Amino acid sequence: MTTRPVRTRRPRASWWALVVDLALVLVFVLIGRSSHAEALDPLGVLTTTWPFAVGLVVGWASVLGVGWPPAGPRAGLVVWVSTVVVGVLLRVASGQGIEPSFVVVTAVVLGVLLVGWRLVAGLVGRRRGSGRSA
């Protein structure tokens, strides 16, 4: 009986997906700071980013804990909700302001980014897969 090298491929895909997620959270922060005329200095960007990065890591830990493929849309939903909820709670706990409109915009933008790339990647993967068999 042969075994499939599932473990050797999975960490690579996980790291790639994590890098994409972190980059998209950073894009969200940079767009937000820029649209509010806040400086894009490293300390300011880090101050705004860390709560959402922690939320992202919590979501990732949850996804990996249940063994879901991290680049899948189901994982994206968990990562998205965790990033928003934990990120907003940590902003409040750290004295960073939030408004209801901020929470709505945060949820929508991060949903589009964190779930959206996974949906697009899934569609592209299916399209490539069906093109090979045709």
CA proximity to 118, closest of 29, 21, 28, 26 = 21
Task: Give residue 100's pLDDT.
Answer: 94
Q: Read off the pLDDT of residues 37-68 as tens digits, 9 standing for 90 and up.
A: 878 889 999 999 999 999 999 999 999 999 99
Locus of tokens 């569609």: 123
pLDDT of residue 131: 59
> What is the rounded distance in angstroms from the CA atom of residue 117 to the CA atom of residue 113?
6
Predicted local distance difference test score (pLDDT) of residue 12: 56
Residue ranges, the chain, pLDDT below 70: 1-13, 129-134
Residue 30: the pLDDT is: 95
